[in-house]
Chains A and B, each alone.
Chain A
Amino acid sequence: GAVVSQHPSRVICKSGTSVKIECRSLDFQATTMFWYRQFPKQSLMLMATSNEGSKATYEQGVEKDKFLINHASLTLSTLTVTSAHPEDSSFYICSARADSWQYFGPGTRLTVL
């Protein structure tokens, strides 16, 4: 149990376009989901906390207008990278919280050309 999926697993887009990444908890409900970004050979950095039915809480230095988060249901949170640029190329990972545990998705590799 406690499986989290992400879609797509990898995406390549042109600079200036927007990309949406989905995070789903498949067999449990999650009122809270987290979005992380990981650059090559670096650690996971928390971007924002996504709460169902309310606005996301962004970490310091993360632009909320650039990284739009929507948590419209208890099983789905989406991260939209708006006007993507090459420096946004990264591995984006979500997690879903159940009780005191966080279950991680497999990640989405974003490449912006």
Chain B
Amino acid sequence: GESVGLHLPTLSVQEGDNSIINCAYSNSASDYFIWYKQESGKGPQFIIDIRSNMDKRQGQRVTVLLNKTVKHLSLQIAATQPGDSAVYFCAENTGTASKLTFGTGTRLQVTL
């Protein structure tokens, strides 16, 4: 999602549907990417990662796709559940001392 001032972009999905959250990263030299889930008032929680030599990686109910040509990352959540409601951030490793640069975030709202 694109950042719009101080308002997080929001994705609303119905319970049971699939969710796709997008992220555009900035550094073409980044070689490692991570998706995090952050619930209100808590720290980021690791979901899934992918290295730049891959274009797809699957976890349990989640899939990350990487398109290096357009510097785009997406997170797909299958059969979205109410517990998936949170803010999702992508992060890229700049390659220097494992520093992470976080994207702007997308709020996922799961409706019943």
Contacts and interface: CB of A to CB of B under 8 A. Distances in A.
Contacts, number: 50
Contacts of B97: 32, 49, 57
Contacts of A91: 41
A25 B36 CA distance: 19
Interface residues of A, number: 25
Contacts of B44: 44, 93, 104
A102 B36 CA distance: 11
A104 B43 contact: yes
Nearest to B89: A43
A105 B41 CA distance: 11
Interface class of chain B by DSSP: loop
A70 to B, nearest CB: 18
A4 B6 CA distance: 29
A43 B102 contact: yes
Contacts of B103: 43
Contacts of B105: 42-43
B45 interface: yes
- Counting from the closest, the 4 A-B pairs by CB-CB distance are A104-B43, A43-B102, A44-B102, A106-B43
Interface of A: 4, 6, 32, 34, 40-46, 49, 57, 91, 93, 95, 97, 100-102, 104-107, 109
